[in-house]
Amino acid sequence: MKLNSLNKNFALASVSLLALSTLAGFSGLATVNAKTTNVADQVSNGEVAIYAQSAAGNQNPTQNNGLVDSDGNPVNDSGIANNQTGGQAGNTGSTKNDGSQQTTLEGSTPSTMANVTFSATKYVGTGVPTGVTDPSFTDTTSVAPVTTDASGLADFTGLTDGYYLFHQVTTVNGITTVGDFIVQVSHEDSQAGIVNVYPKLDMSSSAGLGTSATTNADDNFNGQTPNQIANPNATGNSDQTLTNTDNNAGNENLANGTWTNGSDNQNTTTAAAGNTVNWNVNTVFDSSQTNNGNGTTGVTGTYIVTDQLPNNLVNSSTVTVSTVIVNVTNGSGTKVGTLTPTTDYTITNDGNGKIVVTLTTVGQQHVANLLGNADGALNIIIPSTVKSAIGSATDSATTTITNAYGADLSTTTAVKSTLNVGGLEMTKTDASTNAALAGATFTVVRADNKEDAQDFVEANAAYFNNSASGGTVTNLTSSKAAFVTGDTSGNANTSATATAPVTFTTGKDGIATFNGLNLVDNNTDGNNTTNYYLVEVAAPTGYQLPSVTTAANLTGAVTASTAPAATDTTITNNKPFALPFTGGQGLAGIIAIATVSGVIAFAIKRRKDNEEEVVK
């Protein structure tokens, strides 16, 4: 921090710092003057230190403009009063936002403003200039412009005697331009010192973050989609974007700078193994992210979005810069363009689901151009494929954003959406002993109701002949039912490469387990109680498979969920009639019994015939 200049009390009308009474440049706001201290008469020894500070309007009404009403009462400022929003630096109470030094704004972000360029031009004339537009003074010598550093300081040194007009060069939406001001330099004045100037630049920047999960999984068996997107990655568009409070596509740096997400923000969805789930991350791109530097070279900040995907439920290994889509949307949520992979953004993937999207300098400038240097948002679409798994998990999106002026616009509190992937279990036991039975093979049918499931099972009897190989699947137009496809270990898979019905054969514990199931039922997404039916396709050794013609090998609807338990349902298997075939003696006994029975029956019939003959 530069030392405060010494106080000067001149008898003559020497004014070392003059400022416009009206603000140059933005929305007709009231004046934001630059001042050195509370004492106006100060002279520079050749050094002028400008500390650019970000300060929104006052929280309470102020009387910065010096106006009074007909009764002589001060008139409240318009524009800059009461425009602070959460997280903005600014004055408290009714302190004037007038450019005076405020130690609470020094050395902190987002109060200090880097990358703001100021110019200085030496005035030549007679006497003391009455203002920055005094016709008796002309600008003659330009001093090299100086840009504020990370601490917000632009330090002009080596100035010769005279009056200097200072002008803010850097202008961009989101930055209120400070009025031009004049500083006197006099090396002959023994008490001259460093003049510290504290212009207040109203940078009411905005930030926002949202996320939603969309999928191409079908809803039940009726072909509907949980998030109204049949294939979100095919079009590169999302149904989920950030919009401004008033749906304005222009700059929203003051009272209307609030951004909101759609109804599906941080939603819960469900999908089956093999389905696509897109993680849509929506984040504000504030117009202060870039600036025009010294008028020729643009300055950008840093813009990084991180999303930790639920790697236990989705395969994120295929996420690359060529699969991620970055859309640019305006304040009303309308897409105005799409960024170019590699050129505009890069992707890093740690292999464990952590996806980092980083905008390049070129990319930030591209976004600013697409938005016309107004506020907007990014819609980042990260695709993933659901694994054959069971559980409920979320993504976790955050941002690391510093704008062109050094203000931190990051969102460190994670925003999350939830994905549910289900499974189900069934235990096979002996009805008499309740002992677990190994060797029972089951498959899963997904149907609109039990009648449709039963019709489907009866039409595909070839799959239920004590082998799960079967033949060509018969799909009935009159019913909504189908096999769940997958492997022989109970892992469902809806991808095009999976064509065989999923099966599972019980082990010693008698449990059949299936995973990777879509849970959409009555839109709770946490479980499904109406659409899944187990079918026994092979009976345990020593048991008979129930009749396929009556679909007796079909269960009622079973509950699939993110934490499945053994299903309380019954498929009855009977043992075939067992002959007492234990060796020669057993066979002889059977033959003897059969012989005696035959002789007795013959004798009875013979006697009856004789009696009939007598009657006749």
pLDDT tens, position by position, 275-309:
888 899 999 898 888 876 655 557 888 999 999 99
Mean local confidence (pLDDT), 604-609: 52
Quick one: pLDDT band at residue 27, thresholds 50, 70, 90?
very low
Quick one: pLDDT band at residue 176, thresholds 50, 70, 90?
low
d(CA 201, CA 173): 12
Give the architecture-level CATH label for domain 209-416.
Answer: Sandwich (2.60)
Domain ranges of the chain: 1-204, 209-416, 422-567, 580-607
What pLDDT, on a 0 to 100 scale, did the predictor assign at position 256? Answer: 46
Q: Residue 152, by phi and psi: left (phi above 0), alpha (psi -120 to 50) or beta?
A: left
What pLDDT, on a 0 to 100 scale, did the predictor assign at position 393? Answer: 95
CA distances from 499 to 234, 355, 402, 484, 485 (A): 23, 32, 50, 9, 6
CATH topology of domain 422-567: Immunoglobulin-like (2.60.40)
What pLDDT, on a 0 to 100 scale, did the predictor assign at position 379? Answer: 92
What pLDDT, on a 0 to 100 scale, did the predictor assign at position 94? Answer: 47
**Backbone phi and psi for residue 141, each to the nearest 5 degrees, phi listed first:** -115, 125
Residue 597's CB is within 10 A of a number of other CB atoms, namely 10
Give the architecture-level CATH label for domain 1-204.
Answer: Sandwich (2.60)
Higher pLDDT, 504 or 7: 504
Mean local confidence (pLDDT), 493-508: 89
What pLDDT, on a 0 to 100 scale, did the predictor assign at position 202? Answer: 59
pLDDT exceeds 90 at position 390: yes
Percent over 90 (pLDDT), the chain = 24
Residue 349's CB is within 10 A of a number of other CB atoms, namely 19
The two structure tokens encoding residue 3: 């030392």
Mean local confidence (pLDDT), 129-139: 78
The yes-or-no answer to whether 1-204 and 422-567 have a common fold is yes
Quick one: pLDDT band at residue 567, thresholds 50, 70, 90?
low
Nearest to 282 by CA among 300, 298, 263, 296: 263
Task: Give pLDDT tens digits for 329-343.
Answer: 888 888 899 999 999
**Backbone phi and psi for residue 253, each to the nearest 5 degrees, phi listed first:** -90, 0
Mean local confidence (pLDDT), 418-446: 89
What pLDDT, on a 0 to 100 scale, did the predictor assign at position 312? Answer: 96
What pLDDT, on a 0 to 100 scale, did the predictor assign at position 341? Answer: 96
What pLDDT, on a 0 to 100 scale, did the predictor assign at position 181? Answer: 79
Least confident of 84-88, 182-186, 496-500: 84-88
Residue 585: enclosing H or E segment and its boundaries?
Answer: helix 584-615
pLDDT exceeds 80 at position 18: no
What pLDDT, on a 0 to 100 scale, did the predictor assign at position 183? Answer: 84
**Backbone phi and psi for residue 155, each to the nearest 5 degrees, phi listed first:** -110, 110
pLDDT exceeds 60 at position 149: yes
Higher pLDDT, 146 or 4: 146
